[in-house]
Structure 1
């Protein structure tokens, strides 16, 4: 028998404020048509004043725990993927731990920008396979609206706030690709490309800073690297694109999503798309999409899923799992 990390529940939370594309027309030389045509985004959610990443994360965590039928006291570890932590330290994960009333276990953050949730899943999988934990709460949460330059029409229209979470639990499998749970992980990074997508603030500057991006270059790397990492993860699991029930990609840009699916030879009917309603929520986008797809009735028990993402660093990767 083989120890596997199986998803038992999923949940998400979106801030109440919905920002339609038309709202940007008031202050920028842009339009709803321009934004839709280039990104597929129609609207996004922004956190309210004073609403923190840890609050969004805790709300998504509670939803995932309810879906799993578990209490917070049953969780051994909390891993939060985020680039927009409430404070420099402590971690958002420890704040979530407190908000959930957990006084045992351990908690930490993972920072790989938009690839953060994939990295966090890989971490949680390793914790479970090693026997360090039996149940892990994995969360992606962001308040990117706090680091946007609202005078830059090429970036500020792309991002939104939100949180998604899953509960992973150890289970025994046969050790083949029919098992439920995480079947394969593929991770990469290349710091040579760090200037393509970054925030120009931090401890070294004494400011929070704003997001900066070379959009065309990021697009080129995204299409190439996302398809490659997805294929690599499938190869590790002994599977192919034909076996995939759903691709649940990082929701950055509809054109990237379509191009990646085409390279993987997977029809768009088997791709979960939420970017039109959420924008790019960075590390939150994949768990948000997983939870929404479950609510829609798209993802069902036994479905084979590929998740893939790329973000600043550049950092990218993919996870193959069976729900």
Structure 2
């Protein structure tokens, strides 16, 4: 009798024990140690959000491309390649009688005294940090002196009518036999002849490549024109002012005449002995008007003068009241 009376109670206790074990197992399977495992897609999304965009920023609102972020800038804001085996690096452009010299084709191999980068046709490298410009040019088949330059079997002399030879380093005219190269130097060598055939404005030079700059003064009856005004900023990709500054001017070609450059600016036209500004034309042939058009202190015909790196332009109009 006693055994039969306790049998239902044992059955109830057994069921309660089994239920407790099932509940405990279920909790362990659902929650484990109480921590949750992140979803793989959520984790990847959070990782992407925390990683900054490393791609270069490109802006084109000024009419030509500027790249920021991954470029190395030289002394005038142009990209300057470097080479581990070089003591000095810089930029070089050579233009003879209107044609740019393909420097890479003339270059010696990497590690020589002077060579041109295989990836950048305007980047020079030198194993000697103090090498005369003329010596460097000679490795490219170009013989340059103070007043003469020889290339491809032709010799050009500054004494010949209509011929000019210009060797400039960082915008300054130099004697190539005396001036030694320094790291970061930007070198322009141009030979102009009376019979050279040049299209204006010529091929566009990208903003991150070697282009030309210089100061300018433009006055009309004592009032200096402010080229920092919006209407003069980045108006044409070949010639413009930029960055909210009225100096220097920027030219992205080696075959831009002063006349062509000034005529790209709103309200301005310049020709030989004549200037138009804001609707008024000033003619230097009039007895009461004086028109001065100079580059580096010398009078020039703006239709024939090609801008060069470092050129200081001075345009002045004076009238008698």
User: Structure 1 or 2: larger helix share?
Assistant: 1
TM-score by length of 1: 0.25
TM-score by length of 2: 0.25
**Which of structures 1 and 2 has the bigger CA Rg?**
2
Higher relative contact order (CA 8 A, sep 6+): 1
